[in-house]
């Protein structure tokens, strides 16, 4: 049993980590922090875990964290995570950071989209925690940057295309739709129930959303060419789930069947990725709800020749906390799927 | 007061016509048909209209319709509407057809997407009922083909671009999201409440959905070049509303401000269209719910130069029954907005 | 045209008043206040009214209100409304108050449930604005206290029973379910979209909710005996609507048919109340959405003899702003239903 | 590993059994039937289980079931289950029946509410599968009748009261609210998504719903007096969950604190039942979603003295398939909670 901790346990990604860790056969949650709930039992802060844990919440104390745990999950807002991560890594603990702080390799790019970076010296060793791309590097590092929720769905949907040289780098569009939990647990006017119920809207379109730079960074590495992404996020009136509809022009003509083969081959040994052939039903967010799966349907519009890929994840699992566990399984030498075999709740 | 009738009154577009006509100061609903409810009071079939109409439902009898009404709305499935429309027009009544049967000018194209057409001789005189494009021709015709819900949102969002020569005809993508009422009132497995709640999915993507040919026809006419559309419809877990996110490459570089000006100018005298500038909030489906409005936000992705347009309607109003009333106001020489000034119900 | 104003226009009841007044043929909205939006156009604060009003929002200035309007709607929190109401009434304007401040006739009872009352001298002249009960007194008063949303549904559902002497005053239970807009527009943790979606819960049960005293006051007056109500409010994951399931033991055995007759007779000339007989479908909140209707189904459990009544309203219309308009129509000598003939939006 | 089968695997209770059994360490699903999917892989019929089972669906053949399994779950409609159950029991298999067919001990009562019973001779040995009441009898029987979803929530909420002699048997009311999955997977008009979204309604009230007789049977046994229940079911626009609000007059005055003590004591060793004290938050359906828990909050209306109990379950888990597994754990001598430790998915 590996002793682990969660910094910032009461937000949605923190809660989701608790849910997964309490069912994980090789992880023991021994440390959890929150400013607001310091001194309270975890099950009072998060009553869904009533009767399942006796842990008390405390204020973050890095040396206490280092004493009690081997690995810590950071669920802090961007800009707040970087110094804590640096301190914990300095104390010899392994850190899985769910913020954006170590996702962008180039500090200047980070600064442009997010603001100043106080720990740029850590960037070279931080590993972008998408196991499907970086499986080999994750076990070695002490600092994993868990990908953003949108980038996870988009990068996994474009990966085989980018790597195969099929992707016209100037043609990349990601039209993504997300459940509301992606915006966090803090109530605000636009996420008030009566404003979202029965509604659907776009936000931060046309080059504004911060996840854009993360998608571009990874797709550029994978394809070896400078990829520019037009990214359009939308808000679905559901709690969980991301469905991304991806568009690209192929550099040479391709059929849907060839694409399906390409994706199947590339992802043949991936435990969490399922490829839907042309005869299969298209993916939907409810079939991945609560699971670490990514379901992908590659298609080609026969009339226009354009590639259209549907990619579906649960934003809180494969898009955040499940992916964090998948990375830590790799870091700890555990089977990658351990504690992550949840089935979707349907209906 | 003009006497009007509805053929197929109990479906969602029929119901929505009743709602609008009962509040319309110059239309009198005197005839309504349904196979299932023949002989029953309309308010028994549609209890939301309890106490507001004494009309009895009957079986369709074209000569009775001709005797009693001046104008008839057809709410029949495609293929079923064409013969009825022909018969009614032959009897001297004006027909506003909400099916697909007279939307496609070329019978061969219709046949390819929908099946055989039995009344091709009527196609030349039928007018595609999008007043923003065909305002001049609608008053003269006796047969209006009300546009599909998706095409309405897509064509209105591309129209100023197509007409201005800005639109690269090979770059057109429409990523549309619709509420469930667009699929009709007939219950079926995929629309059963527990399957849709908490869910979001794509369907009929990659060149399969029938509305594609309608979008292409109109955009081709407007732009003077053969436009091919990659169209991806999605199902939102709400009852009403369509939001289309439209993508295109401009033939010459353009700024968002220039686009907003272009759209404002083109639509300056349109009573139902609202253009959102870059400082305005993006449209959402709930703000058009129950109204005949189309709210459009033209944007440009500064980094990729790509045009992104958000276009929002209520699929049952501007996307069907409201548009039908707007057309019939024009046909009858009434003010175009008469009976269509509903405000959205918010929240 | 009567010139009217709204104090506190940006909350949900204020918005709903705007929606109704903009469609009202005899009311002209000339004054609207909000602390937060002072100096801004109303259509900027409430974009759903874009293009429909040029009114600017200002800070409340009672003498300006008195100069500009004949009648003012107060949409302020309880305790804040009382002094403003007193000042406006003193200046000769008629006031329709949507807060709780003048609903409770006995200042001591008010104080127990809500806190101190600074204007008890106004209580004797204030009229409880339920037209079905107080139609004769509303035209005369200059201060109407619009009933609470829950009490409207509960009192209308018990009224014929209370008045007929059938109601055992010790047996009265109201199990009510409300949409989330009843809790107001202010975002808070428990009303954050991901917390409410897919959820259902009770709150403030077992004698705690403040609307209890209002129900008891009116039912006691109507029945002539001290009625005590066990009231259980619940939160439905929808924006609008209240459905109350009411229970009572009859003082003498009664059949459902007799109850239906009793309700039909009592409400025979009520324009907004519909009684569902035993053969009719039970009411649902969506069929009253956006309307000023109250749909009531009186039933008797044959096996236990207990009376069960279902009563349905839209909490923002008949439960608040629609009822306020209905009262002001009466105050102004206008037809009671003027501007209130909205049909429900279905689906 | 015990080999088990499911008859009628493609409905919602069948699916939920598959979900639980695939995660159960001591059950092996080796047999599954469906008329419609005969010969197809289970994962084609239920794609959420893709990659997790190779089982093929077959037509029911009792002797094959007897050869392959030790225990069979019956997910058939009432009236259809009884003969199959009899045949399987006759072949020596243990049967856990999720239909209503063996819940009612008195065949005459069954007949009155459901229709003729062809296997009344089995009724004496069938055990009503509510472990909190019948834990001792379940291990011995070969035929368990899994309780209905509503009765589970209602009986567990009244049980300590009934047993303690506090319950006035003439005062019992159950106002229950259920998610739509309780109505099954078959699409129909009233459960079509656009009809349920944004809606809330009551149905089968005033002594009509069949679950009434089941509640009365068990409460009568527990209290030793003839209990009559006024039961009002309602439909919540969510997929899963039941919240029952229960009302009763106590035979002697009682405080909420005393009630909480009574419930805590009665349920002290129950693994799935949680009692909420007066200081605790009231239960909500989302906190039990996907779990076998029943959360109960007993309260007393101080002003009326009436008892009000909130009782919450997931209708498909503790209200059906989870309870079936709990019973079979008991039948097989396994730890009662085995395979049932799911945490709720929140948000």
Q: Give residue-wise pLDDT tens across range B193-247.
A: 999 999 999 999 998 999 999 999 999 999 999 999 999 999 999 999 999 999 9
User: Between helices B107-114 and B211-223, what is the axis angle to 10°?
Assistant: 150
Which of D247, D282, D300 faces C202 most closely, judged by CB atoms?
D282
Cβ distance of B193 and D189 shorter than 8 Å:
no
Nearest CA in chain B to C285: B48
A174: left (phi over 0), alpha (psi -120 to 50) or beta: beta
Whether residue C289 has pLDDT greater than 90: yes
Residues 6+ apart with CB under 8 A from C268: none
B290-310 mean pLDDT: 96
Cβ distance of B197 and D180 shorter than 8 Å:
yes
What's the number of CA atoms in the CB half-sphere (13 Å) around residue C137? 13
| Greatest alpha-carbon span in chain D | 62
C151-158 mean pLDDT: 98
Buried b (16+ CB within 10 A) or exposed e, C315-331: bbbbbbbbbbbbbbbbb
Structural tokens at position D264: 């805590």
Cβ distance of B347 and A195 shorter than 8 Å:
yes
Please name the chains neighbouring B, where neighbouring means 3+ C-beta pairs under 8 angstroms: A, C, D
Q: Which residues pair with D248 in a beta bridge?
A: D307
Best mutation target, B13, B37, B194, to test chain D (most D CBs within 10 A): B194
CATH superfamily of C150-315: Dihydrodipicolinate Reductase; domain 2 (3.30.360.10)
SS3 for C138-153 is HHHCCEEECCCHHHHH
Q: How far apart are CA B321 and CA B336, in angstroms?
A: 14
Q: Residue ranges per domain, chain C? A: 2-125, 150-315
D177-195 mean pLDDT: 96
Q: How far apart are CA B294 and CA B311, in angstroms?
A: 7
Q: Give residue-wise pLDDT tens across range C176-190.
A: 999 999 999 999 999
Cβ distance of A343 and D48 shorter than 8 Å:
yes
From residue D293, give the alpha-carbon distance in Å to each of A9, A258, C318, D128, D331.
24, 48, 39, 18, 20
Cβ distance of B205 and A308 shorter than 8 Å:
yes
> Which is nearest to A285 in space by CA: B235, D290, D16?
B235
Residue bearing tokens 């598959």 = D18
Structural tokens at position B310: 């958000």
**pLDDT below 70 — which residues of chain A?**
none
User: Edge-to-edge strand order for the sheet containing C307-313?
Assistant: C201-202, C229-235, C172-178, C242-248, C307-313, C294-300, C273-275
Q: Supply angle C-alpha C174, C175, C179, rounded to 5.
A: 120
Q: Give residue-wise pLDDT tens across range C122-145.
A: 999 999 999 999 999 999 999 999
Q: How far apart are CA B103 and CA B133, in angstroms?
A: 14
> Which is nearest to D178 in space by CA: D14, D20, D312?
D312
Please report the beta strands in chain B, taking only residues with DSSP state E, as ranges in sequence order.
2-7, 27-33, 71-74, 94-97, 127-128, 143-145, 172-178, 201-202, 229-235, 242-248, 273-275, 294-300, 307-313
Q: How far apart are CA D72 and CA D69, in angstroms?
A: 7
Alpha helices (runs of H) in B165-207, residue ranges in sequence order: 193-196
What is the C-alpha R_g of chain D? 20
Q: What is the pLDDT of residue B218?
A: 96
Query: Are B288 and B343 within 8 A, CB to CB?
Result: no
Average pLDDT, chain C: 96
Q: Model confidence at C168, in pLDDT bands (50, 70, 90)?
A: very high
Structural tokens at position A278: 């042309």
Q: Give residue-wise pLDDT tens across range A78-98.
A: 999 999 999 999 999 999 999
Q: Give residue-wise pLDDT tens across range A241-298.
A: 999 999 999 999 999 999 999 999 999 999 999 999 999 999 999 999 999 999 999 9
Domain B150-317 CATH class label: alpha beta
Average pLDDT, chain D: 96
Q: What is the pLDDT of residue D302?
A: 87
From residue A245, give the alpha-carbon distance in Å to each of A228, A284, C277.
16, 11, 50
Q: What is the pLDDT of residue C302?
A: 87
From residue C140, give the alpha-carbon distance in Å to each of B7, B323, C85, C146.
49, 45, 17, 15
Three-class secondary structure of residue B30 per DSSP: strand
Whether residue B36 has pLDDT greater than 90: yes
Q: Which residues pair with B97 in a beta bridge?
A: B74, B145
How close, in Å, is residue D282 to chain B by CA atoms?
24
Chain B residues close to A285, C-beta within 8 Å: 198-201
From residue A168, give the alpha-carbon distance in Å to each of A3, A28, A217, A250, C265.
46, 46, 16, 6, 74
Please name the chains neighbouring A, where neighbouring means 3+ C-beta pairs under 8 angstroms: B, C, D
Q: Dihedral sign, CA of C222, C227, C228, C230?
A: negative
The single residue of C75, C149, C294, C327 carrying the catalytic annotation is C149
Cβ distance of C193 and A197 shorter than 8 Å:
yes
Cβ distance of A198 and B239 shorter than 8 Å:
yes
How close, in Å, is residue B128 to chain D by CA atoms?
28
Cβ distance of D185 and B197 shorter than 8 Å:
no
Chain D residues close to B188, C-beta within 8 Å: 187
Q: What is the pLDDT of residue C207?
A: 85
Q: Model confidence at C328, in pLDDT bands (50, 70, 90)?
A: very high
Nearest CA in chain B to A204: B282
Whether residue B135 has pLDDT greater than 90: yes
Nearest CA in chain B to A298: B206
B178-186 mean pLDDT: 95
The single residue of D75, D149, D294, D312 carrying the catalytic annotation is D149
Query: Are B311 and B296 within 8 A, CB to CB?
Result: yes
Q: How far apart are CA C173 and CA C177, in angstroms?
A: 13
Chain B residues close to C290, C-beta within 8 Å: 290, 345
Chain B residues close to D198, C-beta within 8 Å: 239
Residue bearing tokens 């047993």 = D163
Cβ distance of B308 and A206 shorter than 8 Å:
yes
Chain A residues close to B229, C-beta within 8 Å: 304
Best mutation target, D288, D297, D303, to test chain C (most C CBs within 10 A): D303
Peptide bond into B315 cis (omega under 30): no
Which of B177, B200, B347 faces A241 most closely, judged by CB atoms?
B200
ipTM of the complex, rounded to two decimals: 0.95
What is the C-alpha R_g of chain C? 20
How close, in Å, is residue A236 to chain B by CA atoms?
7
SS3 for B59-90 is CCCHHHHHHHCCEEEECCCCCCHHHHHHHHHH
Q: DSSP letters along B102-160, please? A: TT-S-HHHHHHHH---S-GGGTTT-EE--HHHHTTTGGG-SEEEPPPHHHHHHHHHHHH
Please name the chains neighbouring D, where neighbouring means 3+ C-beta pairs under 8 angstroms: A, B, C
Structural tokens at position C77: 């929190």
Please report the beta strands in chain C, taking only residues with DSSP state E, as ranges in sequence order.
2-7, 27-33, 71-74, 94-97, 127-128, 143-145, 172-178, 201-202, 229-235, 242-248, 273-275, 294-300, 307-313
End-to-end Cα, chain B, rounded Å: 34
Chain D interface residues facing chain B, Cβ-Cβ under 8 Å?
12, 179-181, 185-189, 191-198, 237-240
Whether CATH 3.30.300.180 fits D150-316: no
Please name the chains neighbouring C, where neighbouring means 3+ C-beta pairs under 8 angstroms: A, B, D
Cβ distance of B240 and C48 shorter than 8 Å:
no
Q: How far apart are CA B48 and CA B28, in angstroms?
A: 18
Q: What is the pLDDT of residue C240?
A: 97
Whether residue D207 has pLDDT greater than 90: no
Which of C185, C195, C239 faces A197 most closely, judged by CB atoms?
C239
Whether residue B317 has pLDDT greater than 90: yes
Three-class secondary structure of residue D167 per DSSP: strand
Q: How far apart are CA D157 and CA D103, in angstroms?
A: 19
Cβ distance of C345 and B198 shorter than 8 Å:
no
Q: Which one is the CATH code of D2-125: 3.40.50.620, 3.70.10.10, 3.30.1600.10, 3.40.50.720? A: 3.40.50.720
Q: What is the pLDDT of residue A233?
A: 98
């Amino acid at each position: 049993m590996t002793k682990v901790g969660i910094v910032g346990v009461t937000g949605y990604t923190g809660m989701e980590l608790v849910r997964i860790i309490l069912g994980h056969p090789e992880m023991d949650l021994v440390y959890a922090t929150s400013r607001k709930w310091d001194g309270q039992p975890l099950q009072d802060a998060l009553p869904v875990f009533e009767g399942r844990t006796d842990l008390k919440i405390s204020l973050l104390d890095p040396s206490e964290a280092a004493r009690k745990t081997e690995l810590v999950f950071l669920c802090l807002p961007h800009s707040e995570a970087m110094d804590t991560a640096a301190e914990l890594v300095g104390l010899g603990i392994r850190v899985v950071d769910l913020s954006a702080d170590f996702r962008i390799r180039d500090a200047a790019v980070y600064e442009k989209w997010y603001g100043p970076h106080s720990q740029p010296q850590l960037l070279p060793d931080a590993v972008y925690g998408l196991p499907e791309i970086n499986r080999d590097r994750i076990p070695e590092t002490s600092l994993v940057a868990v990908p953003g929720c949108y980038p996870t769905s988009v990068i996994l949907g474009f990966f085989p295309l980018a790597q195969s040289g099929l992707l016209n780098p100037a043609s990349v569009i990601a039209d993504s739709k997300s459940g509301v939990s992606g915006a966090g647990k803090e109530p605000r006017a636009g996420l008030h129930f009566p404003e979202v119920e029965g509604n659907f809207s776009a936000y931060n379109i046309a080059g504004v959303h911060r996840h854009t730079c993360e998608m571009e960074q990874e797709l550029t590495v994978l394809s070896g060419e400078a990829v520019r992404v037009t990214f359009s996020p939308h808000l679905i009136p559901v709690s969980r789930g991301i469905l991304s509809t991806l568009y690209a022009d192929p550099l040479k003509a391709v059929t849907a069947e060839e694409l399906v083969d390409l994706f199947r081959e590339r992802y043949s040994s991936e435990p969490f990725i399922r490829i839907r052939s042309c005869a299969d039903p298209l993916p939907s967010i409810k079939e991945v709800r609560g699971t670490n799966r990514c379901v992908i349907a590659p298609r080609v519009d026969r009339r226009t020749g354009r590639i259209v890929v549907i990619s579906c994840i649960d934003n809180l699992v494969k898009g955040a906390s499940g992916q964090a566990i998948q990375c830590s399984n790799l870091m700890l030498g555990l089977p990658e799927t351990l504690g992550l075999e949840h089935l979707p709740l349907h209906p």
